[in-house]
Amino acid sequence: MLKLYSWSIWAHDAIPAEEWKYRNLKRVVFPIVDIIFFLSGFSAARFGIPAISEFFPDEFVDIFAYVLSLASFICLLGVSFPSLWGFEIAGKSVVLGLIIGYVVALFLLTAVGEDSRGFIFFISAVSLVFIIWRLSLLGSEWQARRVEAAAERELAARLAAIAKLDRGE
Amino acid sequence: MDFVTIGGLVIGLIGALSTIGSVVVLVYKSRGENKTAALNAKTALDARIDARVTLQLETAWKSITDLENNVKSLETRETRRSGAITRILRAIAKQWPGTEGPDLDPADIAEIEETIPIAWIRKSPT
């Protein structure tokens, strides 16, 4: 259990010193957002999604809800354990697609005269900001990992060259 | 086609494109060079190389200082020893019977002290 904690985002050394000021984004805000998405999928599976039901059969709505729950749960795992960042990218992309689909459905309904859907359309659009922002952060971290891996390889090559010189080869 | 069918297609298409597009954008973005990340990596690399060079220099200087101390201590001991040998030789010479003094090897004397009276030193074979 302690080992699991040491791998998590809540472990003492999980947040780099330069990100310490923003630690609660990763430790509190993002996990809460994922939990809310998971609960929204759970709620959709039980009570349906009226806007999606306007366009798709009930079976599709159920699939939409289960996929949203599963993808959100994977995102929650990814944000909780930083080494699972790849899973989080996959999960977040799926959640993004589902929520954009939902926002588009609300937009189409609003456009054809169901003006009362306008409010929920804008509220749903707000949730997109969190998803895109998190995806953008994950992209930057992926890029930084790649650059650091290249630097590690360069360092290993330089150290090998120095060791060769030390041996007089 | 009616509104529901077109709407369903639009929703499905945009949703699927968003999912695939976001992954494609992330993969593309991760391949690009980020100046800050590259700079950080370079700084980290330099810091590690500096640390290694510093460690090597510290080890080398410690070794040099130890050797210097050893040499100093050997020099002091050697000076004391040669002084003592000189004093012993002088004492022996004072107590030597006759006027010739002791018969010493010039090579040995040259090793220990230059102040031994020449008269005491063995003549080289001619």
A49 vs B: CB within 8 A: no
Nearest to B7 among A55, A143, A148 (CB): A55
Q: Distance between alpha carbon A159 and the CA centroid of its chain, in Å? A: 38
Contact B109, B116 (CB under 8 A): yes
Q: How confident is the model at residue A167 (pLDDT cuts 50, 70, 90)?
A: confident
- pLDDT at residue A87 above 90? yes
**What pLDDT is stored for residue B126 in this prediction?**
54
**What pLDDT is stored for residue A42 in this prediction?**
93
Contact state of B26 with A89 under an 8 Å Cβ cutoff: yes
Contact state of A146 with B30 under an 8 Å Cβ cutoff: yes
The pLDDT tens digits for A123-147 are 999 999 999 999 999 998 888 888 7
Joined together, the tokens standing for residue A21 give 């000021």
pTM (2 decimals)? 0.66
Q: How confident is the model at residue A27 (pLDDT cuts 50, 70, 90)?
A: very high
Measure the CA–CA gap between A49 and A40, rounded to whole angstroms: 10
**What pLDDT is stored for residue B7 in this prediction?**
87
The pLDDT tens digits for B75-95 are 999 888 878 887 887 788 788
Ranges of residues in chain B whose predicted pLDDT is under 70:
33-38, 41, 112-118, 120-126
Positive or negative, the CA dihedral A79, A85, A88, A92 is positive
**Count of A-B CB contacts under 8 Å:** 98
Measure the CA–CA gap between B45 and B52, rounded to whole angstroms: 11
Q: Does the complex come out with an ipTM higher than 0.85?
A: no
Closest approach of chain B CAs to the CA of A18, in angstroms?
A: 12
**What pLDDT is stored for residue B114 in this prediction?**
60
Alpha helices in B1-126 (DSSP H): 3-31, 35-94, 106-112
- pLDDT at residue A36 above 80? yes
Q: Closest Cα partner for A134 from A40, A5, A37?
A: A37
Measure the CA–CA gap between B114 and B30, rounded to whole angstroms: 79
A113 dihedral zone (left: phi>0; alpha: psi -120 to 50; beta): left
Q: Distance between alpha carbon B9 and the CA centroid of its chain, in Å? A: 71
Q: Please name the residue of chain B whose CA is at the shortest distance from the CA of residue A97.
A: B15
Measure the CA–CA gap between A96 and A93, rounded to whole angstroms: 5
- Average per-residue pLDDT for chain A: 89
B1 vs A: CB within 8 A: no
Contact A143, B29 (CB under 8 A): yes
Give, in order, the Cα–Cα distances in Å from A130 to each of A29, A37, A57: 10, 11, 29
Residue A96, number of CB atoms within 10 A of its CB: 22
Measure the CA–CA gap between A139 and B29, rounded to whole angstroms: 6
**What pLDDT is stored for residue A35 in this prediction?**
96
Nearest to B19 among A52, A93, A151 (CB): A93
The pLDDT tens digits for A62-85 are 999 999 999 999 999 999 999 999
B49 vs A: CB within 8 A: yes
Contact A68, A41 (CB under 8 A): yes
Joined together, the tokens standing for residue B103 give 């018969």
Measure the CA–CA gap between A160 and A138, rounded to whole angstroms: 33
Measure the CA–CA gap between B117 and B101, rounded to whole angstroms: 9
**What pLDDT is stored for residue B96 in this prediction?**
80
- pLDDT at residue A155 above 80? no
Contact state of A143 with B25 under an 8 Å Cβ cutoff: no
B81 vs A: CB within 8 A: no
**What pLDDT is stored for residue A33 in this prediction?**
94
Q: Please name the residue of chain B whose CA is at the shortest distance from the CA of residue A139.
A: B26
